[in-house]
């Protein structure tokens, strides 16, 4: 009789093998997980934006990506230890708005985008921060997830493009298009609110002669000095721009006629004492000025045309004077 093997006697060995296999698989999974985390961390280290997770209940930052140190200039450990360190570099005027933005995300689940300034290495930098409400996969607690990026260069580029689009390159006052937009806005505001409004046009006297006798560099300097004089004499908030070669215009906002005449006369006086150096000696500058006032039902074109006609009437009257058109 053939006696078979006792399978019960070999069971412990099978159980041990299964346990060893399980431990081996668990070890492989852990190694794979660690490897994936290392790869993820290396990838995140190359991302210039700051990824962050905030627990509003515990009032602490659960995660912030390595870019935080580069963007905000603070060690990761500080903000993970105390979230107030995040606000410590934010410009004082922007802290309240930033906190309010995070609060709206927490309380209403609103996706928020906030731009704010930080002080890093003694210089102001601009940050754009987007945040939205999420939830923890394990216990469902609310989490605020966000991404912050340095937009300083974009801000500078935007400001430069805006300057180029609105500013006259030679005189640094408003260019024609921007001035006319501002003038149209002020005209509408004056009509809606029943406010007085004046429109002033001025033209440099004998400008062609100045260019012909002294050269265009001297002519350019004449325009620069006149523009600087206008910015100094006119009130803050009065649109002032170069609308033609040697023609400038200004809107006298909420300005009664008596006050407007005084402003125009101060401007004419200030221009008349300006001189520009040239090889032939000092060049005297004067300007002819036309002035008119907003009428009921006026359009910008009509206001501009009346001021322009008054300006040419001032030239015909002998130059270096003011003609008012009612």
Catalytic (active-site) positions: 246
Distance CA 149, CA 129 (A): 7
- 3-class DSSP state of 217: helix
Distance of alpha carbon 30 from alpha carbon 58, whole angstroms: 29
Report the 10 Å Cβ neighbour count for 102: 19
Which helix (H) or strand (E) element contains residue 102?
helix 95-108
6-17 burial, b at 16+ Cβ within 10 Å, e below that, comes to eeeeeeeeeeee
DSSP letters spanning 286-308: -EEEEEEE--TT--HHHHHHHHH
Q: How far is 116 from 104, CA to CA, in rounded Å?
A: 16
Lateral strand order in the sheet of 197-204: 240-242, 247-253, 197-204, 287-293, 322-325
Q: Which two tokens stand for residue 190?
A: 């004056």
């Amino acid at each position: 009789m053939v006696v078979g093997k006792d399978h019960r006697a070999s069971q412990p060995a099978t159980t041990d093998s299964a346990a060893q296999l399980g431990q081996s698989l668990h070890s492989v999974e852990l190694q794979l997980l660690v490897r994936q985390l290392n790869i993820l961390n290396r990838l995140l280290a190359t991302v210039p934006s700051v990824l962050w997770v905030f627990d509003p209940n515990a009032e602490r930052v659960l995660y912030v990506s390595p870019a935080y140190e580069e963007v905000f200039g603070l060690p990761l450990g500080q903000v993970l230890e105390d979230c107030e360190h995040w606000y410590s570099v934010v410009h004082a005027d922007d802290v309240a708005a930033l906190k309010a933005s995070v609060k709206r995300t927490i309380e209403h689940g609103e996706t928020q985008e906030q731009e704010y300034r930080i002080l890093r290495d003694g210089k102001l930098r601009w940050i754009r921060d987007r945040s939205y409400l999420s939830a923890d996969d394990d216990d469902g607690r609310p989490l605020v997830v966000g991404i912050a990026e340095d937009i300083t260069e974009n801000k500078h580029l935007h400001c430069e493009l805006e300057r180029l689009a609105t500013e006259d390159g030679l005189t640094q006052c408003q260019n024609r298009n921007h001035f006319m937009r501002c003038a149209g806005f002020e005209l509408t505001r004056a009509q809606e609110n029943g406010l007085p409004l004046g429109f002033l046009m001025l033209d440099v006297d004998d400008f062609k002669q100045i260019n012909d006798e002294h050269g265009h560099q001297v002519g350019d300097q004449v325009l620069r000095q006149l523009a600087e004089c206008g910015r100094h004499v006119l009130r803050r908030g009065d649109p002032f721009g170069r609308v033609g070669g040697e023609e400038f215009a200004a809107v006298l906002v909420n300005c009664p006629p008596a006050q407007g005449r005084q402003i125009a006369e101060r401007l004419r006086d200030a221009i008349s004492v300006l001189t520009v150096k040239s090889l032939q000696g000092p060049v005297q500058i004067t300007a002819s000025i036309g002035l008119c006032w907003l009428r009921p039902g006026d359009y910008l074109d009509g206001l501009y045309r009346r001021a322009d006609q008054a300006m040419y009437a001032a030239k015909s009257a002998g130059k270096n004077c003011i003609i008012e058109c009612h």
